[in-house]
Structure 1
Amino acid sequence: MLSDNLHEVQENIRKACERSGRNPEDVTLIAVSKTKPVSDIEQIYAAGIREFGENKVQEMNDKQKVLPGDINWHMIGHLQRNKVKYIVDNVAMIHSVDSVRLAEEISKEAVKKNVAVDILVEVNVAKEESKFGLYTEDVGQFVEQISKLPGINIKGLMTSAPFVDNPEDNRQYFKKLKDLSVDINAKNIDNVHMDFLSMGMTNDYVVAVEEGATHVRVGTAIFGHRDYNI
């Protein structure tokens, strides 16, 4: 059952917190439900999860229409500017802000709809060519630049580490993101709060929690493998 998978992930997070002297309540588990049917989400919802992550705007909107209103939806995939208007007033957080133009679009639509949107800055810590996100050395200036935009709250950083056989290989990247958040926080920039670190997925979320993740994005370990050909 999916609930058994969920409980195993929750227990792994609890143990990782124990090892690193953290409170498990400080770690938010986002169940990544992309490509998964509503019936699967309902099972995880029934087990107590209220945070769900989606990669595509249309899929998120379709699921929102039929699922309970108390779900907090997280946009974790690459967000195109022309899709921003469909989610700014019904998303808990946008994890993948990686350009000034995207931040400006989110700001514009947020002001238009009279909402404030929580965002994370996506960082390509490992400098993978296949991934979106800013390089670590560019994040400070980027954050200062977009911090002046109305209608957005900069809440922290996000990264997607490389897919590796040994999760320990990614510890360096999680540590680097944590250090970067501390450095940015020390600048005391208005409207910038490095409260959240969204890092760690099915393959490496335990290591991410040990290194300070506040949000882990776990899909396969909860829902099983995806069939992208559906």
Structure 2
Amino acid sequence: MAAPAMESVAATALRSVMIRVQQAAERSGRKADQIRVVAVSKTKPVSLIRQVYDAGHRYFGENYVQEFVEKAPQLPDDIEWHFIGRLQSNKVKMLLSSVPNLAMVQGVDDEKIANHLDRGVANIRRKPLRVMVQVNTSGEESKSGVEPSGCVELVKHVKLGCPNLEFSGLMTIGMLDYTSTPQNFKTLSDCRLEVCKALGIKEEQCELSMGMSGDFEQAIEMGSTNVRIGSTIFGPREYPKKQAN
């Protein structure tokens, strides 16, 4: 009976998170339904993901392609899947072909991966894929992401040079401890202002994906429209062995 107890905890944790999201949204002058909560399920079993799904959640995210393509087909096809973080170009074809309900890639950090995704989408003739451009707001060498100064040019490339991709916004991953400072969030917000001005688009057409388990409330208060929450919903991550992206 251990597994059902664990899964029940996850469903309860999800409800708690959604209440906190609603409260943070209200503090930012918005409604909860203006914030997308992506439940990041990496290293977690299908049974636990299914419990969160059965609690009514539909947005899930994964970080490792191999794990992703094994788990996704075992789950309902009305899930809106997000791939989060750095995607290797040699894994693009497998990801796109194995997860037809992939809704978004949060982590386009250079023109090369944008081009690979664009060609991959065209080759399988699926609808345009929504993508976010990843920005390295902390300046850490260990973090992927385009430098803030290069953000506008990369967004231009996605919008003008990749007809099979749909630019959805900007994302950032926090500091090494998976939390961010207000300055990281402000940097991403500033990048959005620059992008919107340069491309002549409205701010609501450029999402901000920032905030994880340790800092999602602050991120929402500073304008985030998409938060990525893993351990607060699913419990601590388990890494039985080193996984390749």
TM-score normalised per structure 1: 0.93
The alignment status of 1:197 with 2:208, answered yes or no, reads yes
1:143 to 148, 152, 155: 155
The alignment status of 1:9 with 2:22, answered yes or no, reads no
SS of 2:199's equivalent? coil
Does structure 2 retain, via aligned residues, the 8 Å contact 1:119–1:155? yes
Query: How far does the alpha carbon of each residue in 1:63-100 deviate from its partner, in whole angstroms, 9 at most, with x for none?
Result: 11111110111000310001111223441000010111
Could you list the runs of 5+ residues in structure 1 that have no partner in the other structure? none
Shift of 1:172: 1.6
Could you list the runs of 5+ residues in structure 2 that have no partner in the other structure? 1-8
Q: Percent identity?
A: 39
In structure 2, what is the equivalent of residue 208 of structure 1? 219
Query: How far does the alpha carbon of each residue in 1:29-80 deviate from its partner, in whole angstroms, 9 at most, with x for none?
Result: 0000000001110110011110100001121111111111101110003100
**Separation in 1, partners of 2:101, 2:13:** 28
The alignment status of 1:153 with 2:161, answered yes or no, reads no
SS of 1:87's equivalent? helix
In structure 1, what is the equivalent of residue 3 of structure 2? none
Shift of 1:188: 2.8
Does structure 2 retain, via aligned residues, the 8 Å contact 1:163–1:203? no
Moved more, 35-44 or 82-91: 82-91
Q: Aligned letter for 1:100?
A: E
1:84 to 92, 109, 125: 92
Does structure 2 retain, via aligned residues, the 8 Å contact 1:157–1:194? no
Matches within 5 A, 1:1-230: 1-88=9-96, 89-115=100-126, 116-147=128-159, 148-163=161-176, 170-188=181-199, 194-229=205-240
The RMSD of aligned alpha carbons is 1.9
SS of 2:181's equivalent? helix
**Separation in 1, partners of 2:210, 2:192:** 12
Query: How far does the alpha carbon of each residue in 1:103-157 deviate from its partner, in whole angstroms, 9 at most, with x for none?
Result: 0100111111222111000000111111100110111112222322220111110
Shift of 1:22: 1.1
Does structure 1 retain, via aligned residues, the 8 Å contact 2:106–2:132? yes
CA pair 195-178 structure 1, distance change in 2 beyond 3 A: same
Q: Aligned letter for 2:181?
A: N
Shift of 1:4: 1.3
Shift of 1:179: 2.1
Moved more, 106-115 or 202-211: 106-115
Does structure 2 retain, via aligned residues, the 8 Å contact 1:2–1:43? yes
Shift of 1:209: 0.6
**Separation in 1, partners of 2:174, 2:118:** 28
**Separation in 2, partners of 1:173, 1:23:** 23
TM-score normalised per structure 2: 0.87
Does structure 2 retain, via aligned residues, the 8 Å contact 1:184–1:194? no
